[in-house]
């Protein structure tokens, strides 16, 4: 039984009418822009509904739309193994206080993926059981995938500025 995007959208909107702020479709994958506070309920519904059964949380991604409001976005990709169908949920997060509710209770696999989004973008997941850095060193300062972070670590050396850069390099002593 194949799922249709229109049928999925209808089913979600019938249950969470005011939660869906917008919809989109890219290469056949339905994307729902959600109100952040409704995210855990919608995720649980997608998993439990016998017609949908999106039981696999495939991705949690962070996006930095610098200059847009809200600046950050978290994207969740779910897969329904029963129906071989995918759906994306998107929630926005403000620049000043980027917060999104965690869905670690609904999907335990989200714990590590949300930690990675926190590590790279500094988005706080409310209700996460253990929100700490996962890839970067614990004492790291800043969130490296934000667009406001510098792109390169050190200036690119050419012949005209090589000596200058080399003099500043922290070479190891014995």
Partner 1 sequence: MGLEEKAGDMGIVTTSLEAAVNWGRTNAMWPMLFGLACCAIEMMASQASDYDLSRFGMEINRASPRQADLMIVAGRVSRKMAPVVRQLYDQMSDPKWVIAMGDCASCGGVYNNYAIVQGVDEIVPVDVYVAGCPPRPEALIHGIIMLHEKVRREKIGQYKAVDNRKPEAVRLDAEGRTVAMAERR
The answer to whether residue 160 forms part of the interface with partner 1 (CB under 8 A) is no
The first and second tokens of residue 162, run together, are 């090589």
Question: What's the sign of the alpha-carbon dihedral 142, 147, 148, 151?
Answer: positive
For partner 1, which residue of 153, 160, 167, 168 counts as binding (CB under 8 A)?
153
CB-based contacts of 139, cutoff 8 Å, min separation 6: none
The answer to whether residue 27 forms part of the interface with partner 1 (CB under 8 A) is no
> 10 — phi, psi (to 5°)?
-60, -40
- Nearest residue to 103 via CA among 45, 24, 21, 18: 45
Listed ranges 9-17, 83-91, 103-111, 132-140: which one lies at the site for partner 1 (CB under 8 A) = 132-140
The answer to whether residue 28 forms part of the interface with partner 1 (CB under 8 A) is no
For partner 1, which residue of 26, 158, 160, 171 counts as binding (CB under 8 A)?
171
Count other C-beta atoms under 10 Å from residue 105's C-beta: 15
For partner 1, which residue of 2, 14, 152, 167 counts as binding (CB under 8 A)?
152
For partner 1, which residue of 2, 14, 156, 167 counts as binding (CB under 8 A)?
156
- Nearest residue to 18 via CA among 47, 41, 2, 52: 41
Listed ranges 45-53, 59-67, 84-92, 133-141: which one lies at the site for partner 1 (CB under 8 A) = 133-141
The answer to whether residue 170 forms part of the interface with partner 1 (CB under 8 A) is yes
Task: Tell me the residue ranges of DSSP E strands in the chain.
Answer: 20-26, 29-34, 56-64, 72-80, 85-93, 99-101, 124-126
Nearer to partner 1, 70 or 144 (CB): 144
From the CB of 66, what's the least distance to partner 1, in Å? 17
From the CB of 169, what's the least distance to partner 1, in Å? 7
The answer to whether residue 158 forms part of the interface with partner 1 (CB under 8 A) is no
- CA dist., res. 36 & res. 70, Å (int): 12
Give residues in contact with partner 1 (CB under 8 A). Answer: 135-137, 140, 144, 149-154, 156, 169-174
């Amino acid at each position: 039984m194949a799922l249709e995007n229109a049928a999925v959208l209808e089913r979600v909107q019938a249950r969470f009418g005011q939660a869906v702020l917008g919809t989109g479709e890219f290469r056949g994958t339905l994307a729902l822009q959600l109100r952040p506070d409704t995210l855990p309920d919608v995720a649980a519904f997608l998993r439990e509904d016998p017609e949908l059964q999106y039981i696999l949380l495939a991705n949690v991604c962070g996006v930095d739309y610098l200059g847009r409001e809200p600046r950050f976005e978290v994207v969740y990709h779910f897969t329904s193994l029963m129906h071989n169908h995918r759906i994306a949920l998107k929630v926005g997060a403000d620049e000043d206080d980027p917060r999104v509710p965690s869905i670690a209770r609904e999907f335990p696999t989200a714990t590590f993926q949300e930690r990675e989004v926190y590590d790279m973008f500094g988005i706080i997941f409310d209700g996460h059981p253990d929100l700490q850095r996962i890839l970067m060193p614990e004492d790291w300062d800043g969130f490296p995938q934000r667009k406001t972070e510098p792109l390169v670590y050190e200036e690119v050396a050419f012949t005209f500025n090589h000596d200058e850069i080399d003099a500043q390099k922290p070479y190891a002593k014995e």
